[in-house]
Structure 1
Amino acid sequence: MQKTALIPYADLPRAHHERYVLTSTVDVFGVAHWLLGERAPQPGGDVRPFDALVVSVHPGGGVELTELSAVRARWPYLDRLPDGGFVVAASRTRRDEDSDQVQVFDALGRETSNFSVGDAIEHLLVDEAGHIWVGHFDENPAGIRRWSATGRLAWTSDNARIPGLFDCYALNVSGTVAWSCPYTDFPLVEIRPDRPGRPVRVWTNRVRGARAVAVHGDRVAFYGGYGEERDRLAHGELTETSVESTDVGLLTPADGPASGRRRVVGRGSRIYVQTEPFTAWGVFDLSS
Structure 2
Amino acid sequence: MAADRLTRYARLPRAYHDRTLLHSTVDAFGRAHWLLRDSAQPDGPYDAVAVTVEEGRAHETQLSAVRPRHPLIDALPDGGFVLADIRSRAGDDQVQVFDALGRPSWHFRVGDGIEHLLADESGDLWIGHFDEGVLGDRLSEAGVRRWSSTGSPLWAYQPTAGAGSIVDCYALNVDRRAAWVYPYTGFPLLEVRADRVTRVRKTPVGFAHGVVVHGERVAFFGGVRDARDRLVTGTLTETGVAPGTETRLTHPDGTALGRRRVICRGSRLYVQPKPFTEWLLLDIGVG
TM-score bucket of the superposed structures, by smaller chain: over 0.9
- The Cα of 1:133 is off from its aligned counterpart by 0.1
Aligned 1:76-91 pairs, distance under 5 A: 76-91=71-86
Structure 1 176/115 Cα, relative in aligned 2: closer, same or farther at 3 Å? Answer: farther
Amino acid at match of 2:280: G
SS in 1 for 2:133: coil
Structure 1 107/160 Cα, relative in aligned 2: closer, same or farther at 3 Å? Answer: farther
Match of 2:99 among 106, 122, 129: 106
Amino acid at match of 1:65: E
Q: Does 1:149 align with 2:145?
A: no
SS in 1 for 2:132: coil
Asked if structure 1 preserves the Cα contact closer than 8 Å seen for 2:249 and 2:257, the reply is: no
SS in 2 for 1:228: helix
Aligned 1:110-189 pairs, distance under 5 A: 110-141=103-134, 142=141, 143-161=143-161, 162-189=163-190
SS in 1 for 2:220: strand
Residue 16 (structure 1) aligns with: 16
Residue 137 (structure 2) aligns with: none
Mean Cα deviation higher: 211-220 or 177-186: 177-186
For the residues of structure 2 that align with 1:185 and 1:155, how far apart are their CA atoms? 22
Q: Deviations over 1:27-81 (max 9, x none)?
A: 000000000111287xxxx9521111100000x2121200001111111110001
- The Cα of 1:184 is off from its aligned counterpart by 1.3
SS in 2 for 1:140: helix
Residue 202 (structure 2) aligns with: 204
How many aligned positions are there?
278
Amino acid at match of 1:152: S
- The Cα of 1:163 is off from its aligned counterpart by 3.1
TM-score, normalised with respect to structure 1:
0.92
Aligned 1:1-288 pairs, distance under 5 A: 1-39=1-39, 48-58=44-54, 60-95=55-90, 98=92, 100-141=93-134, 142=141, 143-161=143-161, 162-194=163-195, 199-258=197-256, 260-288=258-286
TM-score, normalised with respect to structure 2:
0.93
For the residues of structure 2 that align with 1:277 and 1:114, how far apart are their CA atoms? 30
Amino acid at match of 1:55: V
Q: Which runs of 5 or more residues in structure 2 are unaligned?
A: 135-140
Q: Deviations over 1:239-268 (max 9, x none)?
A: 110111111110111133246421000000
Q: Which runs of 5 or more residues in structure 1 are unaligned?
A: none
Amino acid at match of 1:32: A
Asked if structure 2 preserves the Cα contact closer than 8 Å seen for 1:118 and 1:140, the reply is: yes
For the residues of structure 2 that align with 1:184 and 1:199, how far apart are their CA atoms? 17
Q: CA RMSD in A?
A: 1.6
- The Cα of 1:281 is off from its aligned counterpart by 0.3
- The Cα of 1:174 is off from its aligned counterpart by 1.2
- The Cα of 1:207 is off from its aligned counterpart by 0.1
Asked if structure 2 preserves the Cα contact closer than 8 Å seen for 1:155 and 1:193, the reply is: no
Aligned identity (percent) is: 54
